[in-house]
Structure 1
Amino acid sequence: MKKERTIKLTCERARAFPIEKALAKLGHFPTKESDKEAWFLSPFRSETQASFKVSKKLNRWYDHGIGKGGNVIDLICLVNKTSVRETLEWLQNGQNSFSFQQPLFKEDKQDKIEIKYVKELSHFALGEYVMKRGISILTARKLCKEVHYRFKDKMYFALGLANSSGGWELRNKYYKNSSSPKDVTHLQNGNSRLIVTEGMFDMMSLMEWDQKLMEANDLLILNSL
């Protein structure tokens, strides 16, 4: 009975996990959105016009193509063809913003991010993301790249900051992650003054304010270490 109560409590917490974030983890991003809702191409079939709606306020989804909807647990069970228990494990794995009071599952240490290719920042979704954070594309390009990577047999893309050991800090609107090895980012330009920030957006905010910041200073980004 205690175990059943624990799983029930876990389900209640899991239902609060943002559907948009779960879809991003599956490799699906909105084609259009507003403050109240987001529209996606259906994760269940191939289509050219988005028919999959997510209510941000209710955190519920509805697929108009199949006439079916539900919460985030229902969605992951259907997409991944998994049980409720397996779905809870999938939601927990790798998500710092979602945790259980007493972990029921062990994290799979074999799941690693594989960087596929890196290019100059150009994707419109990432450009929109940095601009909404108050950063211009030109400033973001000075520090970051567009990184495409594979995780659990799915492809993703993100704003990427290379660290000093060859790993990447990865950010997009829905997901925050990093590839191994984890390290700080130290940009040495031969200057006598060092600017230190916690994360990449802190540094880019300073760079937006002072366009000559990178040239006039060495930079150290701690990357949450």
Structure 2
Amino acid sequence: MRQEHTPSFKVETALNCWYDFGIGKGGNIIDLAAELYQSTDLRYLMRCIANSYPVPSAQTVASSFPQRHSAPSVEQFEVVPLEHRALVAYLQERGIPAHIAMANCKEANYSVNDKSYFAVAFENVSGGWELRNRYFKGCKGRKDISYLPWARDGPSAECAMFEGFIDYLSALTLGLISGADAIILNSVVNVNKAVPYLKDYRTINCYLDNDTAGQTALSELTAIYGPIVIDRSTLYSEFNDLNDFLVNQSFIKNTLSNENK
């Protein structure tokens, strides 16, 4: 537990997602359990959730909560080309140039309880959308991996793996994955979902986070595929993830540029 005087944990009930501004992470209930219990084992996490939130009796529910006809829901969810200046600026603050952001992301416009919202949107293989803006991190639809083959005429011999799409955009910005297919986990608990996609690659370059969850995911992949799994996190060993590394490099570059003017 952190000692704080200002609330920094937000729950978006309409999207069934949460975001912790204190650690800069968010997601669904599985992602929250992964943070609380420091594990990527989905079965273990599901047991922890079940044990922590036992199902109450109908009588308890009826007496404890006011009656409501329906839960808040996302309305008029629309995905369009990324154009909103605030969203492009948000990604630029993360070190992602506008042309890379607009070529690889979409813009989601939606409303909750008659209030309008917008976010950067990135699609997964189940048709769900990872949503990000400066204040929110969540998902619309089913949580799943994103798979991006580099060429349309067949898979590459090499695959690059990332935890989130911001890291994938960071790799594109740094020119790290030209010619390689890409898999974005969208949560380390999705490692098992990525396994069927990896069987035919000769090299799997892992750009995962430098934390317990990221290293656990790396170990799980190495146990399955052995030496073809390459840990690329050494590139940014002093940082939590690839995007932190990119932002730092961009800051240094801009500082030197301003000093030389």
TM-score between the two structures when normalised by the length of structure 1: 0.52
Query: Which is helix-richer, 1 or 2?
Result: 2
Q: Which runs of at least 4 in structure 1 moved beyond 4 Å after TM superposition?
A: 108-112
Alignment partner, residue 150 of structure 1: 111
1:219 to 2:209 alignment: no
SS in 2 for 1:141: helix
Separation (CA, whole Å) in 2 of partners of 1:166 and 1:112: 18
Counterparts in 2 of 1:17 and 1:196: CA distance versus 1, 3 Å: same
- When the two structures are aligned, how many residues end up with a matched partner? 139
Give the distance between the partners of 2:125 and 2:172, measured in 1 at CA: 20
Return the offset for 1:159.
0.5
- Identify which of structures 1 and 2 has the higher relative contact order when contacts are C-alpha pairs closer than 8 Å and 6+ apart: 2
Q: Which amino acid aligns with 2:111?
A: R
**Unaligned segments of structure 2, at least 5 residues:** 22-31, 37-51, 54-63, 191-261
- Partner in structure 1 of residue 7 of structure 2: 17
SS at structure 2 position matched to 1:155: strand
Partner of 1:86: none
What corresponds to 1:206 in structure 2? Answer: 171
8 Å Cα contact 1:115/1:147 also seen in 2 = no
Structure 1 gap segments, 5+ residues each:
1-11, 26-89
Deviation at 1:111, TM superposition (A): 4.4
2:94 aligned partner? 133
Alignment partner of 2:160 out of 184, 195, 198: 195
Give the whole-Å Cα distance in 1 for the aligned partners of 2:73 and 2:144: 16
Q: Residues 161 and 185 of structure 2 are in contact (CA less than 8 Å); yes or no, is this contact kept in structure 1?
A: yes
Task: Tell me the secondary structure at the aligned position of residue 95 of structure 1.
Answer: strand
Instruction: Give the alignment's TM-score, normalised by structure 2.
Output: 0.45
Tell me if the contact between 2:81 and 2:107 (Cα under 8 Å) persists in the aligned partners.
Answer: yes
Rounded to whole Å, the distance in 1 between the matches of 2:76 and 2:103 is 20
* Contact 1:112 1:179 (C-alpha < 8 Å) held by counterparts: no
Q: Which residue of 1 aligns with 2:135?
A: 174
Counterpart secondary structure, 2:131: strand
Instruction: Give yes or no for contact 2:160–2:177 (8 Å, CA) kept in 1.
Output: no
Calculate the aligned-residue CA RMSD, in Å: 3.6
CA distance in 1, matches of 2:141, 2:184: 16
From the superposition, tell whether residues 96 and 123 of structure 1 become closer, same or farther in structure 2 (CA, over 3 Å).
closer
Q: Structure 2 counterpart of 1:217, which letter?
A: A
Instruction: Give distance in 2, aligned partners of 1:156 and 1:218.
Output: 32
Deviation digits for residues 51-109 of structure 1 (CA, Å, limit 9, x no counterpart): xxxxxxxxxxxxxxxxxxxxxxxxxxxxxxxxxxxxxxx7xx7434289x999x99x99
Partner amino acid, structure 2, of 1:193:
E
Secondary structure of residue in 1 paired with 2:167: helix
Q: Which one-letter code corresponds to 1:206 in the other structure?
A: A
- Give how far 1:146 is off: 0.9
Once the two structures are superposed, the pairs formed by residues 99-118 of structure 1 within 5 Å of their partners are 110-114=71-75, 116-118=77-79
CA contact (8 A) 2:160 2:183 kept: yes
String of CA shifts for 1:107-131, please: whole Å, max 9, x gaps. Answer: x995454562222211110111001
